[in-house]
Amino acid sequence: MIDIKFLRENPEVVKDNIKKKFQDRKLPLVDEVIELDLESRTVKAEADNLRSERNRISKEIGGLMAKGKKDEAMELKNQVTSFSEHLAALEAKENDLSVKINDIMMKIPNIIDSSVPIGKDDSENVEVERYGEPLVPEYEIPYHIDIMEKLNGIDLDAARRVAGNGFYYLLGDIARLHSAVTTYARDFMIDKGFTYCIPPFMIRSDVVTGVMSFEEMEAMMYKIEGEDLYLIGTSEHSMIGKFIDTIVSEDTLPQTLTSYSPCFRKEKGAHGLEERGVYRIHQFEKQEMIVVCNPEDSMAWYEKMWQYTVELFRTLDIPVRTLECCSGDLADLKVKSVDVEAWSPRQKKYFEVGSCSNLGDAQARRLKIRVVGEKGKYFAHTLNNTVVAPPRMLIAFLENNLNEDGSVNIPKALQPYMGGKTIIK
């Protein structure tokens, strides 16, 4: 959510930003919120003047009563009563306007960074750099579910009977590999200086609307019936929510946290072959990182964070590339975002395994995360990045470490987390 003062003073900049995101349907919202804001400030000014006048008259009543001028005092008391009734109406109107303004402001997209490429959707995202050599072996790479089943590592049929499509049982060495990856990712981030955290896996609606757009919320979140609680789609939600309505001392920044959690997503819609199996599912686990920092430091942290993910994947012998998200592919709260994609020898292309985003002060403004320091009070900047999400990461891992005989090599970095194993047979 952008600053109402910025919108008031720079309406054309806000409109131009909406056009860059190809959301022209939202252009009328800018003029609408400006009109409502003007009306709100007019009502507020009238209410403030009325309060001031009421206070002045109330003091005058006391003086008249002290002098025994009861009739004059009663006349002023009636006037104060009239003021109070009018003031109550103004306050109700002021509150109504505030709700309307806030509702509209939450629909207007954040101002994107000037470096973001302009494009309508993810087909126009821009490749930045590749890391590692994307190889295709001479032997066939099976579908990832076939690899797992050959290693007695997955049972989708039982999961369908228990929970339906989009769930799985992981077994044996594949289940162990899954846990090894998340544990390795945890230690990897701790070594980078991040504090490890296990957050709540459910959050209240005020946190949900503070960390994501309405469109994302509707497409992703599972609501707990009869409770003001939602299952998290990623631990970023509860990790950023940890700072809701707080004032953070400037000398404690940056706050750098890495978190483990299960994640729950609706994942509506039909998907192709490669997105079946464990690619797009309703429940998975993830190691995440978030940073809360000063505005001037957020871009430097953005660069560091996605590089950590690239580094982790390279230690596991997985080639990756970074893809700059274009304007039309950015969620409304994001200032800038990059996807990390892993190489798939089977598909002979890269696929998304993580995403790093700088949200500027949008989440902090919604959640009232303020910093106090030499410059006074101001809103923090927030960032998030996937360290690793094992289901998708497992696909990349198995395909890139698969031998012709169906066995899977365990890279050196992961061997201590697999009991010293160097290979899965």
User: pTM value?
Assistant: 0.89
Nearest to 7 by CA among 107, 74, 90: 107
Distance CA 10, CA 25 (A): 19
Query: What are the pLDDT digits (tens) for 15-28?
Result: 999 999 999 999 99
**Best CATH choice for the domain 122-424 from the list 3.30.930.10, 1.20.1730.10, 3.90.190.10, 3.30.499.10:** 3.30.930.10
Answer yes or no: same fold for 4-105 and 122-424: no
Sign of CA dihedral 80, 81, 82, 87: positive
Is residue 141's pLDDT more than 80? yes
Check residue 270 and give its pLDDT: 44
Mean pLDDT over 197-212 rounds to: 94
Query: What are the pLDDT digits (tens) for 344-361?
Result: 999 999 999 999 999 999
What three-state secondary structure class fits 238?
helix
Q: Where are the beta strands (DSSP E) in 144-279?
A: 154-155, 169-170, 195-197, 202-203, 222-223, 230-231, 246-249, 255-264
Rg of the chain over CA atoms, in angstroms?
A: 27
Check residue 277 and give its pLDDT: 78
| Per-residue confidence band for 273, with pLDDT thresholds at 50, 70 and 90 | very low
Instruction: Provide the residue ranges of all domains of the chain, joining segments of one domain with +.
Output: 4-105, 122-424
Whether 292 and 254 have beta carbons less than 8 Å apart is answered as yes
Check residue 62 and give its pLDDT: 66
Q: What H or E segment, with its residue span, contains residue 409?
A: strand 408-409
Nearest to 395 by CA among 129, 140, 142: 142
Give one word for 150, left, alpha or beta, with left for phi > 0 and alpha for psi -120 to 50: alpha
Query: What are the pLDDT digits (tens) for 212-271?
Result: 877 777 778 899 999 999 999 999 999 999 999 999 999 999 999 999 999 999 876 544
269-278 long-range contacts (CB < 8 A, ≥24 apart) are: 273/143, 274/347, 274/351, 276/145, 277/143, 277/144, 277/145, 277/156, 277/395, 278/144, 278/145, 278/154, 278/168, 278/391, 278/392, 278/394, 278/395
CATH 1.20.1250.20 at 4-105, yes or no? no
Check residue 148 and give its pLDDT: 96
Mean pLDDT of the residues in the chain:
92
Distance CA 352, CA 221 (A): 21
